Amino acid sequence: MQFPLKFSITLVYLCLLSITTESQPTHLFNICPNSTTYTRNSTFQSNLNILLSSLTSNATLNSYAVTNGFYYSNASSSNPTETAYGLFLCRGDVSASTCQDCVTFAASNITHYCPVRKEATIWYEQCFLRYSNESFFSIADTSPSFVMCNTNNVSEPERFNDLLGATMNDTATRASNAPRRFSAKKANFTAFQTLYSLVQCTPDLSSFDCNRCLLETISYLPQYCGGKQGGRLVGRSCNVRYEMYPFYDETAAAALDPPPPPVSPPPPASPGSVPTEKGKSGVSSVKIIAIVAPVVVSVLLFVMGYCFITRRSKKKSGVVQEETGVHDITTVKSLQFDFKTIEAATNSFSDDNKLGEGGFGEVYKGTLPMGQEIAVKRLSRSSGQGAEEFMNEMVLVAKLQHRNLVRLLGFCLEGEEKILVYEFVPNKSLDYFLFDPEKQGQLNWSTRYKIIGGVARGILYLHEDSRLRIIHRDLKCSNILLDGDMNPKVSDFGMARIFGVDQTQASTNRIVGTYGYMSPEYLMRGQFSLKSDVYSFGVLILEIITGKKNSSFYQTYGATNLLSHAWKHWRDGAPLELLDPILRDSYSRNEVIRCIHIGLLCVQEDPADRPTLATIVLMLNSYSATLPLPQEPAFLSHTRTGSTESSMPTKGLVPDQSTIKSTASSVDDSSITEVYPR
């Protein structure tokens, strides 16, 4: 069973017979990542104390914050890197006094549950409180943090699941349109049983992000609590819950639910009109024709004009669409930039604005008239990427929205110009820091661990959580961009491929990608799958840990490549010898060994032996996940048949159209030990 949750997953029995009214809030769960810690009596601790005091003081009775059950703030000093950000959210139906008590209790206890942590979240039955050293306001975290399920089963599970899905989706829609991002609803299951549902987001989220968070969370309910009489999935941006008993205050919840849109009464009959058989006023045929005829003519002219313009634009652009029909320029027409606008933004593509050069063209920094900074990828005319690959990247990225994926702002197709416009990511790419002896020091262990986790979440989104199932096919250090806070963003989707929902494997006649990151089955036989990205991610992990390029191991370091170097140290019981020497003074031993372990599992020769990204994300965030022992990885000095590897580098080859096969492959994910809350 897979567990695609971002943090620890909890499957426990929860059956509350009534709404909790005890003076002490009921503690549910807490998350205390140890990737970043602070020293006692430090500036951050001082700011954190100020923040928690501010949250408590704003939870006083009759205050605006406690009346609305939500408040967020930050505490900073002269050093902006030591700023503490935090918020509290009370359940929408609880009273102001209950909210005040819960927030006060949470603020005084969170540092006891999570000592010296720069990031922490604590959940109680009536509220939750969260703080971090990085701003998270208005950012949707759509991964549930823990699950709680009632152990009692329902009768007629199929019919119940249908009712649950419809009820929860409707409740999510109502909540996303409500000012407090809260809604509760009940529906009859049988003559004697009623389904009660409640959903809530943090009110700093937009209506769109709230709805997205709730729907993604609701989609996990059948997997974890299918057929159960109650369940909840709780996250840091939204939560959902259902039970077969009233677990919330129905009167308070009803007062917060947005009312249904009013039904407009029929217009009064005009004097002299002739009533119809149903009592409605009549309108003469002449008036009907006079009103309808111009409208019909206008619509026909608009449709004809639109078809004509569309046909001309397709002819002019010469866009080649794939047989699958995925590439439809009309899906992103609103993102189209004028060439003159981009030319002005980049100062006519001056060398001073040049950020770098990739396999398919040059990248420039630009500034739009409103002051927004952008990154402009101008594809060279001699590059292998034609209209097909350009449209592939454009359509794919335009539909992908995740904090760990680079965001496409727009594109330009004019004449022979093919240009992509991305958000500007100030810290360039990972390889710019990782492989430069003078810049390596800026990547301490906590930053590298954050990059590993962020890349894993980004690729997981591509594989399982986006509307399309996507294989990146070119995951490497130079395609990992870093924002101002060194958060990773996966970029460059020119070689990506879309998979069908039930498809697990495909093949191609021509190999694309970067030698050293490509899986053996892809390089040797042209077969690629989700596990191909897993292999590339394993190489990436080992490069981040060692600070060395995979390609730099040819006849150096006493090994054939990075994988054989890593395997040698793992086999000899000295995995920490792999660690970049610049990190030797400050690192987490458990995290480093765990990452090496995961990296070696990712590069197993048989794709079935590699974990999925969902499993990898859980392995990275749960120390109680059970990891299988890795075997000797692929691409060492000899293959399983004993023949010497003799593959040639293939970097820079041009992709052609893939031949898709719906070949099922066995998937053997590692088992995960369940985690229970304290």
- The segment with the largest mean pLDDT, out of 48-52, 153-157, 251-255, 383-387, is 48-52
Q: According to the model, what pLDDT value does residue 639 have?
A: 36
pLDDT top residue among 609 and 492 = 609
**Lowest-pLDDT range of 83-92, 119-128, 324-333:** 324-333
Q: According to the model, what pLDDT value does residue 472 have?
A: 87
Strands 194-201 vs 238-243: parallel, antiparallel or unpaired? antiparallel
pLDDT band at 656 (very low <50, low <70, confident <90, very high): very low
pLDDT top residue among 312 and 204 = 204
**337: nearest Cα among 376, 311, 293:** 376
pLDDT band at 300 (very low <50, low <70, confident <90, very high): low
| 3 state DSSP class of 176 | helix
pLDDT top residue among 452 and 15 = 452
Q: What is the mean pLDDT of the chain?
A: 77
User: How large is the average pLDDT for residues 292-316?
Assistant: 58
Taking the C-alpha atoms of 593, 595, 598 and 604 in order, what is their torsion angle to the nearest 10 degrees? Answer: -90
Query: Is there a contact between 562 and 535 (Cβ–Cβ < 8 Å)?
Result: no
Query: Is there a contact between 74 and 133 (Cβ–Cβ < 8 Å)?
Result: no
Of 101, 141, 204, 474, the catalytic one is 474
User: Domain 333-423 in CATH: superfamily?
Assistant: Phosphorylase Kinase; domain 1 (3.30.200.20)
Q: What is the pLDDT of residues 420-461, one digit of tens each?
A: 888 899 998 999 999 998 899 899 999 999 999 999 999 998
Phi-psi label, residue 475: left if phi above 0, alpha if psi -120 to 50, beta otherwise? beta
d(CA 599, CA 609): 12
User: How large is the average pLDDT for residues 104-131?
Assistant: 94
Query: Comparing 27-132 with 146-256, is the CATH topology the same?
Result: yes
Q: According to the model, what pLDDT value does residue 128 have?
A: 96
| Portion of the chain with pLDDT greater than 70, in percent | 71
- Classify domain 146-256 by CATH architecture: 2-Layer Sandwich (3.30)
Q: According to the model, what pLDDT value does residue 586 have?
A: 84
Tell me how long the chain is: 678
d(CA 472, CA 513): 10
- Residue 266 in this model has a pLDDT that exceeds 70: no
User: How large is the average pLDDT for residues 524-536?
Assistant: 87
User: How large is the average pLDDT for residues 131-146?
Assistant: 89
**139: nearest Cα among 351, 365, 401, 492:** 401
pLDDT band at 543 (very low <50, low <70, confident <90, very high): very high
| Portion of the chain with pLDDT greater than 90, in percent | 40
Q: According to the annotation, is 315 in a ligand binding site?
A: no
- The segment with the largest mean pLDDT, out of 387-396, 595-604, 639-648, is 595-604
Q: What angle do CA 641, 643, 648 make, to 5 degrees?
A: 125
pLDDT top residue among 450 and 358 = 450
Q: According to the model, what pLDDT value does residue 157 have?
A: 87
Q: According to the model, what pLDDT value does residue 577 have?
A: 93
Burial class (CB in 10 A: 0-12, 13-18, 19+), 113: middle
- Ranges of each domain in the chain: 27-132, 146-256, 333-423, 430-621
**Lowest-pLDDT range of 180-184, 335-339, 513-517, 661-665:** 661-665
User: Domain 430-621 in CATH: superfamily?
Assistant: Transferase(Phosphotransferase) domain 1 (1.10.510.10)
d(CA 593, CA 480): 23
**566: nearest Cα among 589, 597, 588:** 597
Q: Provide the CATH topology of domain 27-132.
A: Killer Toxin P4; Chain A (3.30.430)
User: How large is the average pLDDT for residues 619-629?
Assistant: 80
DSSP string over 572-614: TT-GGGGS-GGGTTS--HHHHHHHHHHHHHHT-SSGGGSPPHH
Residue 173: CB atoms within 10 Å: 18
Task: Judge whether 204 counts as a catalytic residue.
Answer: no
d(CA 189, CA 166): 12
